[in-house]
Structure 1
Amino acid sequence: MFAKFATRQFSSTASSAYKVSILGAAGGIGQPLSLLMKLNHKVTKLSLYDLRLGAGVATDISHIPTNSVVKGYGPEDDGLSKALEGADVVLIPAGVPRKPGMTRDDLFNTNASIVRDLAKACADHCPNAAICVISNPVNSTVPIVAEVLKSKNVYNPKKLFGVTTLDVLRASRFLSEVVGTNPVHEHVTVVGGHSGITIVPLISQTNHKNLPKETYDALVHRIQFGGDEVVQAKGGAGSATLSMAQAGARFASAVLDGLAGEKDVVEPAFVDSPLFKNEGVEFFSSKVTLGVDGIKHIHGLGELTNAEQEMINTAKETLVKNIEKGVNFVKQNP
């Protein structure tokens, strides 16, 4: 999967042309994410928006000799609408980062308002775009975007994604460290949500299904709470930005490949899912096949161990609350 991604991302023979807009492009995630999308040859127009420094980041990145025109925008002169107009894919990393001791849910009140307002702008100016939500807590911000789009009668569940790819990257890396292999060859499906115990790595579906229990438990915990390592290591100065940018770029590249009609483009994502709707879980992360209209197929979870099934059950209980929190926020703060 990694090798395929690298080929997709940097293939200079790609003929498809797309406009990608990044909202929050001057932030800790936004800047490296903008750089990585500038290197994607499917992107011929790159629009970078931020409250400040959007134009500066755009000018900096525009000097890189790939076949895309980069423009930066701020809130002045109706910049947000200009940044979004005609966009095929919108990436939203805007918001405040986690600090030591904060959970993703602690970010909710601030980031919820930001995401709601950006979703309104997307609905007005690029209603057909694929929207990739990075702003945490994803378990709640994705439902916020959905409710805003519904209120404006432009909701397309096939084109709304919560980016959970960082969990997949961490799972591959951390598993490889445990078993002593090259992480490029370790493909771990991660399902559920994008916060703590809602993150469920399906280790049983890899080549390493018989790990000792103590090793397995430690690995799962590290995958679920890997973000805390970064927050602590940065001493409160930030959270995961560079790895998140790579995750965002990988997922956005997969979406672009799907839009371009490439075959067998599969990535996990947090989406409007039928898997557990009958249990009140409106959104769930699992593998999705991406196509010209966005989501082409939502995959089931496959065979699970008892331990994985227990984690899924726990995740669902938390997800119901997280999703409800997002929905209620829009109802109370339209």
Structure 2
Amino acid sequence: MFRALKLLKPQNPMSIRKANWQNFVMSDVLANLEKQCERYCPKPRFPPRKVAVVGAGSDVGRIASLFLKQQKVINVLALYDDCPEHNVCGVGNDLAHIDTSTEVEAYQGKMFLKDALHDADVVLICGGCYIQPPCCNTPDRDLFFYNMQHVRTTSLACAQFCPQAIIAVQTPPVDCNYALCAYTLKLAGVYDKRKVLGVNAINAMRANQLFCSITGSDPSKSTTPVVCGTGRCTRVPVFSAAKAGNFPQTQADCLTRLVREADEIICKVKSNREQGHLSIGFSSARFVTNIMQGLFEKPTFIDSALVEQGDPGKCYNMPICATPLTVGRSGVQEYAVPTLNESETRLLEDSKCDLEDMLNLGRCYALGEEYYLHPQKVCPCIKCLQCPDCEPQKKIQQ
């Protein structure tokens, strides 16, 4: 007959002396067992609140990193660039002198891309070619071929090293590169439509600033959404959504033209013949900050982002469209589709064709399919005039 033994607990646990020796054999065995357990039963992930900026050595990347270094919601800021001329290690060392709580890491070269993306919560893909001739327009399709490899390489690395991260695509043209990134992630089997966003913050910021300068309202207390796409011929500012009483349609049409031609205006005014890197970098940093606040603090509203819609029927019958949205703990949480007036609806219908073509261009190069440009999808507002400045700028891009 077996007798049950009753284990008695000591009355005073503090009186038990701790052993001053260690069984190294058992420790190694237990360590191997823990490795096997982690292999089949991974531990829950504790986000480090890390943001990775790919292309941080570029002009836009430096400015965005400067503002991201000041955000308390970010604990780790990883800077990466594969271009030796950008010297991202020097940029990281410079930012590390700023006395904020955000830690800065810098990685130079493709061999360190894994370390830069490891455990990232948000990845900002910026950099690439931004140069445009001052008195003629470089078609977005031509610009795409300069930057497509940069976006595709980063997308593949994100699929492997940080599949849980939210990816914000800012490298121009965003319409093409967003589709390239999304379909690359689909091929890798890690695509989540709530976690891939095309950055449209610069257009919404410009529209809001122009509108507030006319009406005299406070820009920090108003928002002006931009729908459809992010390109010069696909962005549709919705000035009717702003609360400003009777706003003349003639002024709205003038502001719409300014928003669409903002890139060309800046290129002609700036002596270095480049886009507005200061405003683009600031808007991109604020875009990423809003995402981080939505992930770790509370649901946060974003003025405009190019995303795959949850219900295309409620979004002008467009499966992929730039709209205002709310970001929560799992990514995009809610879509806010503004109501358009007659003029904005007509402009949207004219812009749909070019947006579909730009998205199709990125999709074809992601899937390896052959791309054909339909004659009806050539945007009539892209007209390149012959001028002596075109050829030198093409050589700079190459």
The normalised TM-score by structure 2 is: 0.75
In structure 2, distance between residues paired with 1:57 and 1:161: 26
Equivalent pair of 2:48/2:120 in contact (CA under 8 Å): no
Equivalent pair of 1:22/1:34 in contact (CA under 8 Å): yes
In structure 2, distance between residues paired with 1:227 and 1:92: 20
In structure 2, distance between residues paired with 1:307 and 1:318: 18
Q: Could you say which residue in structure 2 is the equivalent of 1:292?
A: 329
**CA distances 1:135-175 after superposition (whole Å, capped 9, x unpaired):** 01111100100111111111111110101011111011111
Equivalent pair of 1:289/1:297 in contact (CA under 8 Å): yes
**CA distances 1:259-307 after superposition (whole Å, capped 9, x unpaired):** 0141353432100114547998442111111000010112223x32111
Match of 1:49 among 76, 80, 84: 80
- Shift >6 Å, 4+ stretches: 277-280
Query: Residue 124 of structure 1: CA displacement?
Result: 1.0
Equivalent pair of 1:139/1:319 in contact (CA under 8 Å): yes
Q: What letter corresponds to residue 174 of structure 1 in structure 2?
A: L
Match of 1:60 among 75, 89, 94: 94
Q: Could you say which residue in structure 2 is the equivalent of 1:312?
A: 348
Equivalent pair of 2:131/2:273 in contact (CA under 8 Å): no
The normalised TM-score by structure 1 is: 0.89
Unaligned runs of 5+ in 1: 1-15
In structure 2, distance between residues paired with 1:264 and 1:230: 31
Give the secondary structure class of the aligned counterpart of 2:71: coil
CA separation of 1:264 and 1:129: change in aligned 2, threshold 3 A:
closer
Q: What letter corresponds to residue 75 of structure 1 in structure 2?
A: G
Match of 1:93 among 116, 126, 129: 126
Q: What letter corresponds to residue 303 of structure 2 in structure 1?
A: E
Equivalent pair of 2:204/2:303 in contact (CA under 8 Å): no
Q: Could you say which residue in structure 2 is the equivalent of 1:252?
A: 288
Match of 2:231 among 192, 195, 214: 195
Q: Is 1:70–2:104 an aligned residue pair?
A: yes
In structure 2, distance between residues paired with 1:272 and 1:85: 26
Greater mean alpha carbon deviation, residues 321-330 or residues 98-107: 98-107
Equivalent pair of 1:89/1:132 in contact (CA under 8 Å): yes
In structure 1, distance between residues paired with 2:299 and 2:354: 34
In structure 1, distance between residues paired with 2:235 and 2:50: 31
Largest Rg, 1 or 2: 2
Superposition CA RMSD, Å: 2.0
Q: 1:1-334 counterparts in 2 under 5 A?
A: 18-51=49-82, 52=84, 53-75=87-109, 78-100=111-133, 101-208=137-244, 210-276=246-312, 281-301=318-338, 303-332=339-368
Count of aligned residue pairs for this structure pair: 317
